[in-house]
Amino acid sequence: MTAAADTGSDADGSHDDARRQYLAMLPRARRRSAARRFDSAGKILVRELSALYGHTAGFDTWLARFCAELGRLAAARPAALTALDGRRAARPDWFVRQRMVGYSAYVDRFGGTLAGVGQRIDHLRELGVDYLHLLPFLRARQGDSDGGFAVASFEEIEPALGRMDDLDALTARLREAGISLCADLVLNHVADEHAWAQAAAAGDPAMRAFFHVFPDRQLPDAYERTLGQVFPQAAPGNFTHVPAMGGWVWTTFYPFQWDLNFAHPPVFAAIGRVLLQLANRGVEVFRLDSAPYLWKRLGTRCVNEPEVHRILAALRACVQLVAPGVLLKAEAIVPTEQVSAYFGRGELQGRECQLAYHSGLMASAWAALAEGHAELPRQLLAQTPAPPAAAGWITYVRCHDDIVWGVLRPQVAAAGGDFARRIGKAAAFLEGRTPGSFARGAAFQTPGDDAVHGSNGMTAALVGLSDDPLGAVDPAALRRYVLLHALAFWVGAVPLIYMGDELGQHNNAAPADAARVAQDGRWLQRPLLSAAALDALAAGRGVPAATFTALTALVAARRHRHWPADAGVSVVDHADPGLLIVRRGDRALGIFNFATNDAALDLAGLDAGQGWSDLFSSGVAGTGTTTRTLQPWATLWRVRGHV
C-alpha cells in the first residue's frame, strides 16, 4: 500500500544470481537459447521486480528462488508447446498477420462442459474463428461467484464443467483445429473460499499478508474519499468487515472477493506460477482481469497506478522466459488513453500486454447508434494512440459485461457536453425507454434518472432484430447489426464475436435464469446457446441464417488478400455528421453510416474511386467508380486493387 522503491538492491548481482538459478533448472541442450532469453526478458524481470520489491527484506534470496521456479516451469513445458513458441517467436506479430477472429463464451452456456466445447469446434471453424475466449472455468466459490470471477481454486476446474484432464484434451483439440484458447486470469482478487483466504481467516500470518486488512475504519474511510465504486448498487463501498480477520478487508468488487496485496512479493510469485502452469496446459492467451486495480495508494483512485505497469511488465517477462508464444491481454475498462498504457510506455513500450480491449470504441459505437450521428466514435478513434509493433486492439460489439458508459467521459467532456445528460439519453434509447426506440436493453447499476452507469442486452435486442429465430428479418435491424460488427472488424487486431450473437440470439428470458437476471442484470446477455437458433441456421432460415451469413462475409472480407492487416487506422474528416470514415493505411477505406437517413458518397473526393473495389457492402446502392448511396446504418469497405 506504499510506493515501490525507485531502485532495488544491487541490480547486477541480483541479475547474475537469478540468471544462474534459472538456467540451472534447464536441460543443458536448452541453456544457450534460454540464456539469450534471460539476457533480454530476464533483465526486464529483475529490473521491474527490484523496483517493486527491492526494499523488502530478503529480496535477493526471494528473487533467486523465484527465477529457479521459472526455470523448472520452462523445463516442464511440453514439447508441442515449445515448438509452437519457436514458430511464434520468429514472427512476434503472428496474431496480427493471421487476421484472427475471436469468439467469447461461457463454457456452460456454450457447450455445457469443457468436453462439450470440443464438440462445438466445427461450429467455430464454420464461423471462421481461430481465437476462443472461454470465460472463467476454474473452480469458483459456491453460490454467488460474480459469474465465475470469484475464483476459489486456480488448480481445479469448476466441477460441473469437467476436470484438468478435460482442459488438456480441449487445448490439444483446439490447437489441432488452429484455434488459440484464451482464459481469464483474475489478478486483483480471490474468493473468500480460496485456500489463501481461508488460511488467512484461520490465523496464518503468511496468508494474512496476501490481503489488505485494517483493524478499524480509519484507513478505509481515508481511502474511500478518493475511490470509485465498481458496483455502486449491488456492492457499495470498497471494504468488508470480516470478523474472522478481526477487521476490514479490501473488497473492490464484491464482499466475497478479497483484493490481493501485490506490494507483498509472494503474491506476485503465486500469481505468476498460476499463469505459467495454465500456459503449460495449452492456454495460449490470458485475459488479465481487473488489472488496473492491483496497486493501492492513499489519496488516489487506486486505478492505473504506475506500479500496475511494472507488475504487468514483470509478468510478461515471466511468460517470455517460460512460454514465449503466449499472449497477454489487458482487461482495463477505462478511458482509451488510459487503456493504451497497457501496451507499455516509455522504457516499457511493447513490454506489457500484446492485446487490450478497446472498450471506448464499443461504447461510442452504441452511443452513435442511439444518437444517429458518428461524433463520439470519430472523436475517439482520432485520439486513439497507435499500438506499438506486435500489439493490437481487441474490438467487440457485446460481451458478458454491461456497456460501461464511464469510459466515454473524456470524449463527452471534450465535446462540451454534460455526461449524465448526453449519455443518459443514449442509454435510455438503448434500454427502450425512449418513444420510438428499436432497442430492448436494460439499465445496470444506474441509481436514478440523473445518473448513468451501464446498460445490458444482447446485440440482437439492442439493434431491434426479432426475438423469434424464425421471425421475419427486419432489413434495417440487420444493417444495424452489421454496422457495429463491421466497425469492430475494421478497427481491431482481433475482433471478438460474443456467444449467440452469430445466431442473432435475444436477451436471456429463460425462466430458469429469472432469479439470476434479477440479482445481476448482466445475466440478460448470458443465454444458453439456442438449439432452436442452431436448427434455424442449419435450415438456412430466419434471423440466425441472416446474422451468421453476415458475419462469415465479414470474416472472408477481412481475410482477403487486399486487407492490410498490419496497417494503422486513421479517421477521415467529412462534412456529413452521420458518417464515420476510417482508413487502414493508404490501401483500404471503411465507411459507416450511423444516421437515420441516406448518405450520398463521392468516392473520387475520398481518393477511393478509380483503381479501388468494393470489398464488403451492406445497404449500399450504386456500382460506379465515383458514387455510392448509403442507406441508414449502411457499411462499405473499399480497397485499392481488384477484388
Q: Which of 638, 591, 590 is nearest to 615 (CA)?
A: 638
Residue 12: pLDDT band with limits 50, 70, 90:
low
282: left (phi over 0), alpha (psi -120 to 50) or beta: left
Task: Give yes or no: 331 in active site.
Answer: yes
Domain range enclosing 627: 569-640
Residue 206: CATH number of its domain:
3.90.400.10
- Asked if residue 207 belongs to a domain, the reply is yes
Distance, C-alpha 337 to centroid of its chain: 16
- Higher pLDDT: 481 or 414? It is 481
Separation of alpha carbons 197 and 190, rounded Å: 8
DSSP structural state of residue 524 = G
Residues 6+ apart with CB under 8 A from 187: 260, 271, 288, 289, 290, 291, 294
- Asked if residue 230 belongs to a domain, the reply is yes
Predicted confidence at residue 449, as pLDDT, reads: 53
Report the mean per-residue pLDDT for the chain.
Answer: 94
> Which is catalytic among the residues 166, 192, 289, 307?
289
- Asked if residue 221 belongs to a domain, the reply is yes
- What ranges make up the beta strands (E) of 21-142? 102-105, 131-134
Residue 351: how many other CB atoms lie within 10 Å: 21
- Asked if residue 488 belongs to a domain, the reply is no
pLDDT digits (tens, 9 = 90+) for 43-60: 999 999 999 999 999 999
- β-pairing verdict for 355-357 and 327-330: parallel
What is the gyration radius of the CA atoms in the chain, in angstroms?
Answer: 25
- Asked if residue 588 belongs to a domain, the reply is yes
Domain end, chosen from 259, 287, 318, is at 259
Do residues 310 and 48 lie in contact, with contact meaning Cβ atoms separated by under 8 Å? yes
Number of domains in the chain: 2
- Asked if residue 21 belongs to a domain, the reply is no
218 burial level (CB within 10 Å; 0-12, 13-18, 19+)? exposed
**What φ, ψ does residue 383 adopt, rounded to 5°?**
-100, 0
pLDDT digits (tens, 9 = 90+) for 174-188: 999 999 999 999 999
Residue 621: CATH number of its domain:
2.60.40.1180
Q: Which of 510, 467, 533, 500 is nearest to 400 (CA)?
A: 500
Domain end, chosen from 259, 292, 316, is at 259
| DSSP H or E stretch at residue 515 | helix 514-519
Share of the chain above pLDDT 90, in %: 90
- Asked if residue 550 belongs to a domain, the reply is no
In the predicted model, is pLDDT for residue 332 greater than 80? yes
Q: If you average pLDDT over each of 227-236, 508-517, 622-631, which comes out highest?
A: 508-517
pTM assigned to the model: 0.95
- Asked if residue 600 belongs to a domain, the reply is yes
pLDDT digits (tens, 9 = 90+) for 400-423: 999 999 999 999 999 888 999 999
Nearest 5°: the CA angle 66, 29, 271 is 20
> Which is catalytic among the residues 331, 371, 375, 502?
331
Task: Give yes or no: 289 in active site.
Answer: yes
Domain end, chosen from 215, 230, 259, is at 259
**What φ, ψ does residue 422 adopt, rounded to 5°?**
-70, -55
- Higher pLDDT: 625 or 567? It is 567
* Residues 145-165, mean pLDDT to the nearest whole number: 97
